[in-house]
Structure formats: structure tokens, C-alpha cells
Structure 1
């Protein structure tokens, strides 16, 4: 709890002192510096960061309830709400949950899910944030595994946001990669997927 309170204060201070892009960069550095999390054994242990994102978010699409059940089952420590909000790709989420994931120690990982209304549609998102990974390799794996269609991009001072659409299992998904402008193999990457909420019949 003390760590979470400390992180909340750090995140709030950075949000007001810097723009969102710089704030997110500093969040990564702050989290890596102050969080000590026990190792969590997982079937994805030893997998690449993209494999982990694919398993948690992409392969079956975002699923708010399923992800919460996974986090509770693994006793994942919660991520401060303001930090979780900084990672979601949708505005004004109706529900939001985030956790710190540290599968096998390094690199740092966070997992965030949300629900929101976009127009008349109810959507869900699933995001993973990574520190200390190869951004170029992550993006390459996305192309190799899903063959996405590029739908846009947005450059900031230090970050590059790329937008893709993919269709799998009869479901359209919007994927966003937030990458450094100049990747060096030890990068911070935020990967998100958004799709229409699936309801049980």
C-alpha cells in the first residue's frame, strides 16, 4: 500500500509538471525504481514480450472480466489508478483496473484493462506496458503474427504512436503501439488492443 501511495503521488506530480508523453516516460522510470515484486511463475515464463501481450490481450481479444479473474488468481499487485489511466487507449473509461506484472523478474511489465463507450458501442481495451525491451522486435512480431493493416500514426517529441487494425476470430480489433522515436533495444513500449465488448448469449 505504501508503494502504491508513493507511486500515485509521483504520477500525479509528473502529470502536472510535464505533458502526458513525458509523464508516461517518467512513470516507467519511477515504477522500475520503487517497486519490488515477487517473481510470478506463468506459462508465459521465458516468452518474448510480444508473446505475453498476445496471450494476455491480443489472441482472444480484450476481456475485462477474464483479465480480472486472471489477476486475482495470481494475486497481482494493483497499479495506481492514475498510472493505469495513463496507459489506456480510450477516453473516459467507465471501468478500469491495472496491475504490476513481473514474470520471472525482469523486464518490468504492467497490465491494464478498461471498459468504455465509443459512440453507441461498448468497447473493452487491454494494454500492456513494458520497460527494457526491444521495441523494433516487438513491432516486427506484431506484423509476423497478425499481418495488421496500418491505419495511422502520430509523432511526439520522443514517442511514436502507431495505429493498426486486425481481424481474427471474426472480430475486428484496433491495436496501438506507443514506441520510442529512436529505439535502442532497451525501450519502453505500450501496446493496446480495443474491440467491441463481447456478450455471452
Structure 2
């Protein structure tokens, strides 16, 4: 199954599953704020995220859905959670993975959202990260944009999958990948 098809399938399936008891709430940051907090500020951190999920008792995301949302192929470790708030009609998922890319060990953090404003999300992503565009790939009804951002600690590759024609009630998948940080 192609990535484009996997993404559409996953979000469509996920929207049907929004009856899960959720963990998000009115006090949660907006979608970009959540992605920024959970994935971007310190970069992907597989172990930190797994620990937070266990501490907060987040419900697991189906393995096939987590796999389809991961931006890395053949992950050596993969975990995902459904963060959908009960009864709000939206969808939110978080997936973290570890993989080998060439000689490097990388970690990724992905969030998927439904029923958000894709244009506003993209503007904040670019404005707040000062990310530089490094390419784009159009699909049927969707565009995948590739960005690069750097902090003093590490370089980050960001991918954001958006509708070609956002309408304010959109599906967005955003990932960040960077080299694994080893704590000494």
C-alpha cells in the first residue's frame, strides 16, 4: 500500500474510532502547540514519550495504524497512542519510532489530527520553527511538504502532509525525524 493510501486509510479509520476514551481536554494546547510540545521543542525522544504515555495511561493505537503513520521504514521500535478527546468529534494520534537510516540511528515523532485548520497549522509550523522548505510531493488531493529546521542541539527533518485545498476542517499529519540523542 502506498504512503498516500496508507495515510488516507489511517485517518479515515481513525475518525471512525473517535469513540475511544480520550486523553486530550479543553486545557490542552492547540494542535500545533501539542506537536511542538510533544515532538518538536526537544526533538523526538522515544523513551521520554513512551514513559509519558505509560504515566498518563494513553490508549494504544493499532499497530498497523502506528506503522502507517511512522515516517521511517522498518522501525526497530514503534509505539503509538490515540489521544482523541471523548465526544469532541476530532481525531488525534501520536506515534514514535526508532530506526536506522544509513549509518545513523534516528528517532521520529508523528502526530495526526483531523478536523483542524491545516493552513493555520502550516503557518505556525513555518513561523515558529523558521523551517526551510526542502521539497514537496503532490498526491491526489494532498501535498507532502518537506522542511528542515535546526536548533543548537540538533537538525530536524520535518514532513507535513496537508490537503491541497484546506477548508478549516482538515486532516494533517506532521512528523519530525532527527538523530537519536544518547544520554551520558
**TM-score (structure 2 length as normaliser):** 0.93
Does residue 34 of structure 2 align to residue 52 of structure 1? yes
Match for 1:100 among 73, 82, 103?
A: 82
Does residue 129 of structure 2 align to residue 146 of structure 1? yes
**Residue pair 1:45, 1:104 contacting (<8 A) in 2 also:** no
Residues 60/183 of structure 1: CA separation in 2 closer, same or farther (3 Å cut): same
Structure 2: 5+ residue runs without aligned partners? none
Structure 1: 5+ residue runs without aligned partners? 1-14
Q: Secondary structure at the match of 1:139?
A: helix
Q: Which aligned runs of 4 or more in structure 1 are off by greater than 6 angstroms?
A: none
How far does the alpha carbon of each residue in 1:58-92 deviate from its partner, in whole angstroms, 9 at most, with x for none?
Answer: 00100000000011111111111111111111111
> CA separation in 2, counterparts of 1:162 and 1:109?
20
**Residue pair 1:114, 1:125 contacting (<8 A) in 2 also:** yes
**TM-score (structure 1 length as normaliser):** 0.85
Greater share of helix: 1
Rg larger in structure: 1
> CA separation in 2, counterparts of 1:90 and 1:39?
26
Q: CA RMSD for the aligned pairs?
A: 1.7
> CA separation in 2, counterparts of 1:37 and 1:82?
17
